[in-house]
Amino acid sequence: MNNKFFYIGNNSYHYDWLHHLNQYQKIVRSGDKVLEIGSSNLKKTKDLASRCCHLTGLEKFKKSIPKASKLKGLNIKINNGDWGDLTKIFKDNRFNLVFASHVIEHVKDDLSCLNQTYKILKDNGYFFFITPNRLRFSERIRGLFKGPRKFPYHDHLREYTEEDIRQLLLKSKFRNSKITINGFVLGINGGSFYLFLKNAPYFLRRWVNFWEVIVQKKA
With a pLDDT cut of 90, the percent of the chain lying above it is 75
Q: What is the pTM of this model?
A: 0.94
Q: Give the residue among 88, 82, 71 at the shortest CA–CA distance from 107.
A: 82
Rounded CA-CA distance 37/70 in Å is: 19
Provide the H-helix boundaries in 86-136: 86-89, 110-120
CB 58 within 8 A of CB 36: yes
SS3 percent helix, strand, coil of the chain, rounded to 5, is 35, 30, 35
Residue 179 burial by Cβ neighbours in a 10 Å radius (0-12, 13-18, 19+)? middle
E runs forming strands in the chain:
6-9, 33-37, 54-59, 76-80, 95-101, 121-132, 178-184, 186-190, 193-197, 210-216
* pLDDT single digits (tens) 78-110: 999 999 999 999 999 999 999 999 999 999 999
| Tens digit of each residue's pLDDT, the chain (219 residues) | 677 777 777 666 678 888 999 999 999 999 999 999 999 999 999 999 999 999 999 999 999 999 999 999 999 999 999 999 999 999 999 999 999 999 999 999 999 999 999 999 999 999 999 999 999 988 888 777 888 888 988 899 999 999 999 999 999 999 999 999 999 999 887 667 788 888 888 899 999 999 999 999 998
Cα-Cα end-to-end distance for the chain: 44
Domains recognised in the chain with CATH numbers: 14-135+158-186+210-216 (3.40.50.150)
Whole-angstrom distance, CA of residue 207 vs CA of residue 201: 10
